[in-house]
Structure 1
Amino acid sequence: MRALEEPDQQSESLSISEKVGCGPSPYDENVAFHESPFCKKHKAPLFLPSPTEERETRDPAPPVYFPSVGLLVKYGPEVTLVEGQSLLLIRKTLSPVLPVPEMYGWCKDDGQVFIYIELMDSITFEKSWETIVEGQKVSICQQLRHMVNAWRSLKQAFSPPFIIPRLVHVCYGPNQHVQDKPSHPYRSSLPDHVLIVFTHADLHPSNIILSSRSNPHVIAIIDWHQSGW
């Protein structure tokens, strides 16, 4: 186990954390949030499994689960700082309307990003679908509507707002020329002038965590690695 180093506090740029008052800068590559309940419970400074330990622990592949301490470690070629930054922003600005896992920290090692997140040890909406009644499904969907409206209310710090691409793939660019990108068959049905809003981008039932009680409700939305404007 090793401790993540405290980030440099002298950065001149205005970070998300400085805007919402959450401590270390989320723009640094190595961050640990020492004021988190997880840190206080396990004694500061915050010690987290090293990238080497996580690579040795994975079975058969990441993410790596540490249920005894309620920790989930995500890493790999598709993991970026975006998920950690999004969780940090949402938890500080939209809680408790929009419940998300707590972010404990992240680091970069050998070209890979490792993010340390609260393990949500409960059932997903996907796995609950066949066992819950229609009224409960409607209630959960109504809760989700409020949550979607909440994250769509987030404002960019730039004017005019712009779309921030999160994924790079041959299907959607970047392309050297506009004509290189094929037109979507339903593009003509979409308006050209709409608001640019923050979105989750993967609100699948498997990413909706429910309480395990007889009257289930949403306790967390997970998997924010595709989120953005």
Structure 2
Amino acid sequence: MTTTPSDPRRPPTVDDAVQQFMSLSQEFLELVPRLQTYTTGLSARASPPVSHVRTTRRVLVLALSLGRKFMTPGEATYLPGLLERVYTERKERIPFALRRPVRTTVQQVSAALRDLYSTGPDVSHADGTTTTAAQAWEQVAYGHVLHPDHEKWSAGNALAWWATSANGAFAVTRLRMLIVLTRSLIEQLDEEGVFDGLGYLENLWINEDLWAEDGSPVDPETGSARGVAGPVW
């Protein structure tokens, strides 16, 4: 990828922010493998394969670590915040027919991110308690991966990973779709001349890092950003 370094003496422009997002989101799509969705093994009567749980845990760690910058308000690459900035600063360049779709996408992505941790079924345990999808994500994220919060860690120490593996495929898959949707919209806006030249087009092809069911690596699949996953609403 050929890019011109930003001047460190000035704040990043919207073009800088979009360029950074395209690069970091490509890293996410390449490094965070797609999870297989299992329709069995998500209740107390059956358990998912050990290989699936092991692989899921690694994917969740990557998704939480690398995806945080796309999900956290205030970050330069927070998906709806970035699109909102593009709309605000480059509205006059956006064709009139695309202005409503851009605004609609901001609202859809914002709502989807708010519900991201709640995606997936609740998990009922043998002692009669229930762990919601949001609770499992919070216990793993803040008690194990991003922070060593003792309260979160102790609350889900025994079952947090198991519960999250049951819901992880839903949340990770949706996050990937939101990232791809945002990338596709930016590509479309770039084609309309909204930006002052982005270098990502020189390296658009994404080599996905895939794992087999036993957790071993497999040869990467090559595809464009649009071919990684399509947005589903």
TM-score normalised by structure 2 residue count: 0.24
> Which has more strand, going by share of residues?
1
Name which structure has the greater RCO, CA cutoff 8 Å, separation 6+: 2
